[in-house]
Every structure is written in structure tokens, then in C-alpha cells.
Amino acid sequence: MQLIVSPGYEQVTASWFSPDFWGRSAAPVSAGGRGGAWFIESDTSELVLRHYRRGGLVASLAEKTYFFTGFDRTRSTAEFNLLRKLRELSLPVPEPVAAITWKYRALWYRAAILVKRIPGAVTFAESECLEEATLWAEVGALIRRFHDEGLDHVDLNCDNILVSRGRIYLIDFDRCRLRAGVENSADAEWKRKNLDRLYRSVEKRCSRLDSEKRATCWASLLRAYQKKSS
């Protein structure tokens, strides 16, 4: 087992990663997850606990186990370190609290992460400002800031964009990476793929806008994305 804890959270133990440990202070996240996330109310802060799982139709046995190639390379360690870097770059992402890796049999592991909950956050599609083109433009400009820093968000969708008190955050950086140098050219393929993925999610999740409205909103997002951020 390996536990990594952020400064200021030395009280965190391995038990914190078990929803049962929290009893009524843990509540499953209903919006936007795949069933492995809980909101936690600790004595001092509100947290989100996430157990790494494969999405989709993978057989249940393999659902939570991953092939182990070293504690520094597990899903939880990678996301924890990436969140730290993104915060150093002043990008709006949740604060990482702790990450755990449990070795499971000789070659496998399970993993989980704790992050600070963004107070009052709703997912992008749930935002009451969804009909306002300015919200879409802010999302476009924000994605551009992440892209300029080289952040390839491999699961950019409406559930991984949160809105809280008029501010926008990106979350869920499992398998994401920072690309540097030649990999981070203005016309890099991964940037287009991130946006294509978000577009498909918008079509599914933002059905309360009619298709014409969706098209204008999406155009606002793209326009703001394409504008060089100063």
C-alpha cells in the first residue's frame, strides 16, 4: 500500500478511502459519475472520494484492478501529481488531498483519490446559465488556457466541467497528461480530439437547448477558444 498526502492533511489515513468509514458523512455522487465517487464531510472539510474504475462494459472482475508497474505510475499517483502541477500553473482544478494505491495480488493494484470538493458546484449542463452564450465563451477561453499549457484532457465532457458561483473548473484528470514542446503545437491533433469529444457530450447532455440554440452556443465557445488568450 502507498499513501501520499498533501501538506496540511497529515491526519488522513488509509481508512479515509473507504466510504463505510464515513457512515452517514459519505453520500454517493449522483450527477455525472460512473458510481465510484462519494461526497465526504470530514470534521474540517468537504471532500470528494473517487475509486478508480473502468467505464463502460468491461467485465466486473477487471472493473477496479489495473496492472501494476510501480507506485509512481498508478492512476491515483498520476492524477494527484498532475493536479498539483495544474494548480501551480494557476489553473482552476480541485485541490488534491491524498492518493492511495493498494497492491492487489502480485501484478495488480486498486487506487483511489481524495480531492477538495468545489463548494456549490454543478455540472456544466446543469448550470442555470446554460442558455447564456457568455458561459459557453468562458468555457472556450478556459479550455484554451489549459491547452496552451499543454493539458490533454482525454475525457473532456459536460460532467467534467463544473460551474460554481460563476466560476468554471475542469475536473477528472484520470489518464490526462501535460504535453510539452513539439507535442503542444497550436494545431495539435489532441486539441481537436478534446473539443470533438466535448461536442459529442454537448449534443447528449444539453438537450434542453434546441439544436439551433446549441449551435450558436457552441459557436461562442469555439470563437472564444480561437481567440488568442493574452
Ligand X SMILES: Nc1ncnc2c1ncn2[C@@H]1O[C@H](COP(=O)(O)OP(=O)(O)O)[C@@H](O)[C@H]1O
Site residues for Mg ion per CB under 5 A: 159-160, 172
Instruction: Cell 454517493: give the residue.
Output: 28
83-112 residues in contact with ligand X (CB under 6 A) are 94
Closest among 5, 47, 10, 9 to 25, alpha carbons compared: 47
Identify the active-site residue in 20, 43, 148, 155.
155
Instruction: Rank residues 4 and 37 by Cβ distance to Mg ion and give the closer one.
Output: 37
Pick what 34 binds: ligand X, Mg ion, none; C-beta below 5 to 8 Å, kind-dependent. ligand X
Q: How far is the CB of 160 from Mg ion (least distance, A)?
A: 5
User: Which residues neighbour 105 within 8 Å (Cβ) at sequence distance 6 or greater?
Assistant: none
Cell of 51: 475509486
Q: Is 160 in the site for ligand X (CB under 6 A)?
A: yes
Tell me the residue length of the chain: 230
Q: Is 33 in the site for ligand X (CB under 6 A)?
A: yes
**C-alpha span between 82 and 152 (Å, rounded):** 11
Cell of 50: 473517487
Instruction: Cell 459557436: give the residue.
Output: 219
Residue 155 annotated among the catalytic residues of the structure: yes
Q: Is 177 in the site for ligand X (CB under 6 A)?
A: no
Supply the DSSP symbol for 46. Answer: E
Phi, psi of 16 (to 5 degrees): -60, -20
* CA atoms within 13 A of residue 137's CA, in its CB half-sphere: 10
Instruction: Rank residues 74 and 201 by Cβ distance to Mg ion and give the closer one.
Output: 201
Instruction: Rank residues 54 and 179 by Cβ distance to ligand X and give the closer one.
Output: 54
Q: Is 36 in the site for ligand X (CB under 6 A)?
A: yes
CB atoms within 10 A of CB 88: 8
Q: Is 156 in the site for ligand X (CB under 6 A)?
A: no
Pick what 113 binds: Mg ion, ligand X, none; C-beta below 5 to 8 Å, kind-dependent. none
x/- letters, 37..66, toward ligand X (CB under 6 A): x----------x-x----------------
Cell of 169: 473548473
Pick what 96 binds: ligand X, Mg ion, none; C-beta below 5 to 8 Å, kind-dependent. none
Strand 108-116 relative to strand 66-67, pairing: antiparallel
Q: Which residues lie near ligand X (CB under 6 A)? A: 29, 31-34, 36-37, 48, 50, 94, 115, 117-118, 121, 123, 159-160, 162, 171-172
Active site residues: 155
